[in-house]
Structure 1
Amino acid sequence: MEFDTLDLRLMHALEVDARAPFSRFAEVLGVSDQTVARRYRRLRTGAGVKVVGVVDRPRLGEDSWILRLRCTPDAAGPIARSLARRSDTSWIGLTSGGTEVVCTTRSSTTEARDELLLGKLPRTPSIVEIQAHQYLHRFYGGPSGWLGKSGALTEDEVARLRPEPGAYEAPVRPLPEDEPLLAALRADGRASVAELQQRTGASESAVRRRLDQLVGSGTVYLDVQYDGPSFGFGVSALLWITAAPSALDSVGRALAGHREIAHAAAVAGPCNLTAVLVCADSHEVYRYLSETLGRLEGVQHVECAPTLRQVKQLTYEEPRIP
């Protein structure tokens, strides 16, 4: 299935305000409501587009880690799928010839962190090496979607779509009773208030009020998942970067401004920066590494690990067996 400029513009619009009505998208994009609805359905079925409500755990001060698990050749896939079923994991991919699993995980308690990092994973016989990098600071990613760097929408169009700023300066910490609402948003971030009411059992006014609090405070943001190759972005890779300590912040900020970088963060561990690189092909990867990244002052070492298979983005569905 082929996608065109209008599809990319709609994707960018979703990233700006994923819960906006189709009529608003249509007005900004200069097409009919029916065209927007039809294109959105096509993107869902043909490019795996899905709007997902995400709790911004770093904003709440919760621990987040990125794990590199070197496995025996026959075990990487099963281990990746097992981790994908956990509610405390998000991005999971296979790299390095299919023997390395890279997994992002967050822990709300020290006990939960230790159970995974010091208990379950080290006891798994087919995992032969574990590297754990703790997230320290996010330079780009999370609420800042990568499609914003595409330029598909003009600055004026983005301004017309951007929702009004929330009235909350500090994050609103989710409560246990918020879980049905959060689960419904993970399933469909564009679900209407009426649909959320049906799924949670709360009144529409209560749902609307809590939704405004969680989203308006930045505790929850709406992320757009999609299949990159469908839009011509056929190669993704993880970058493990060591920068001089005095250049850590400047290199991280530079990465955040690069068109090819979808996520960048400072981490503690064997390296001090990690980033997600998205390119059209291997030639573009080479140009980025040798020219853009290679010329940054303060970069001392770079490891580039192409992603062979993405097992989980923010949500996971078991593969269907024919």
Structure 2
Amino acid sequence: MDLDHTDLAVVRELQTDGRLTYETLAQRVGLSRPATRARVQRMLDSGAVRVVAIVHPAVRGLTASAHLSIDTHGAAGPVARAIAAMPQAPFVTLTAGQRAIMTELRTEGFAELDRAIERVRTLPGVRTVDPLITTRQLKDPYLLPDPPAAAELDELDRRILDELERDGRLPFAELADRVGLSAGATRSRTLRLLDGGVAKVLALVRPELLGMGHLCGFAVRLDGPADPVAERLASWDRVSFLSACLGRADLVGTITAESLPALLATLERMRACEQVSGVESWLHMELVKERYDPGASAPAPAPAQGAAAETADSDPL
């Protein structure tokens, strides 16, 4: 799907706040409300854009994570798809580099993380697994910058989050029907969850549609303290993800760039940083899975035809 200048303007607004009303969105991009709604719906229907709630991992108890580099016996595609079927694996790619597959695991504690890594090791076709255990998330476009304020979530809160993780633009009226509350009570609870840092709603867009179709992973080894280098790398626009880790490297991350020369320039700039003793890199060739909702092992269910018809012209707010 090709996105024109106006589509990109719409996407940028939804990446900041995925629950903007069509009226507000239309004012910001200079279109009528019906035209804005039509563009959003076209992008959603094509699969080029998804608008979902990203719930802070701490809320789900996902306190441990790791990045795995995986080599295989034979074809890597079937192994990548088997890993993608694991709910603990929100991110899986086929790569060009020393290893054939890169994946991220997120689990409830390190004991479960160890079990998930062992499960990957035992999958048919897996030859080697090299994990980098995350100690701190330094930059993540899908993670709120601070842990959410301490709050007790009840069953209704969790049901609201579950629904918004599947469809972040659900109108309050439909969301209320699904969770069994009034529209007013649902709105109040939802805003409390969003304002409290429990979750944020945003658009997920394939990078190539934004002119940033080249993704490169990297692992950095350091000679000194990690913080000064990490702060510098996290400030670069093309570094879209960064975490501190334990293992063969001190930092692991992702470069998202508009071209191969831009990727190379970023890697060269990284290698030139003081205290960087080595940089390993790999190209992400095929994104097998990128899902951070509770139905991560399978596509989110589509709404029923009746519900879709009833809310087709409704705003989320």
The TM-score with structure 2 as length reference comes to: 0.82
Partner of 1:84: 84
Partner of 2:283: 306
Letter of the structure 2 residue corresponding to residue 35 of structure 1: A
Mapped to 2, the partners of 1:126 and 1:61 lie a distance apart of: 28
Instruction: Give the helix-richer structure, 1 or 2.
Output: 1
Tell me the SS of whatever aligns to 2:121: coil
Mapped to 2, the partners of 1:58 and 1:274 lie a distance apart of: 21
Contact 1:171–1:219 at 8 Å: present in 2 too? no
Contact 2:62–2:107 at 8 Å: present in 1 too? no
Contact 1:15–1:224 at 8 Å: present in 2 too? yes
Displacement of 1:39: 1.9
Mapped to 2, the partners of 1:36 and 1:13 lie a distance apart of: 12
Contact 2:62–2:106 at 8 Å: present in 1 too? no
Q: Percent identity?
A: 22
TM-aligned CA distance change 1:238 to 1:112, over 3 Å: same
Give runs of ≥4 in structure 1 deviating > 4 Å.
58-61, 173-179, 315-318
Tell me the SS of whatever aligns to 1:121: helix
How many residue pairs match? The answer is 293
Superposed, 1:205-224 pairs within 5 Å as 205-224=184-203
Mapped to 2, the partners of 1:107 and 1:169 lie a distance apart of: 18
Letter of the structure 2 residue corresponding to residue 276 of structure 1: T
Superposed, 1:154-173 pairs within 5 Å as 170-172=149-151
Q: Give CA-to-partner distance per residue, 1:250-301, whole Å, 9 cap, x none.
A: 22112222121111111111101111111122122112222x3233222111
Mapped to 1, the partners of 2:26 and 2:263 lie a distance apart of: 35
Mapped to 2, the partners of 1:21 and 1:47 lie a distance apart of: 20
Contact 1:64–1:104 at 8 Å: present in 2 too? yes
Contact 2:97–2:281 at 8 Å: present in 1 too? no
Mapped to 2, the partners of 1:233 and 1:181 lie a distance apart of: 33
TM-aligned CA distance change 1:87 to 1:54, over 3 Å: farther
Displacement of 1:124: 2.7
Contact 1:241–1:299 at 8 Å: present in 2 too? yes
TM-aligned CA distance change 1:77 to 1:95, over 3 Å: same
Task: Note the aligned Cα RMSD (angstroms).
Answer: 2.7
Mapped to 1, the partners of 2:259 and 2:29 lie a distance apart of: 29
Of 259, 262, 266, which residue of structure 2 is paired with 1:288? Answer: 266
Mapped to 1, the partners of 2:124 and 2:155 lie a distance apart of: 35
Displacement of 1:35: 2.5
Partner of 1:8: 8
Displacement of 1:48: 1.4
Matched, 1:279 2:257: yes
Superposed, 1:134-213 pairs within 5 Å as 134-143=133-142, 170-172=149-151, 174-175=153-154, 178-213=157-192
Q: Give CA-to-partner distance per residue, 1:92-122, whole Å, 9 cap, x none.
A: 111136962211111114443232123x223
Tell me the SS of whatever aligns to 2:212: coil
Mapped to 1, the partners of 2:180 and 2:141 lie a distance apart of: 29
The unaligned stretches of length 5 or more in structure 1 are: 146-165
Displacement of 1:61: 7.0
Letter of the structure 2 residue corresponding to residue 296 of structure 1: C
TM-aligned CA distance change 1:61 to 1:134, over 3 Å: same
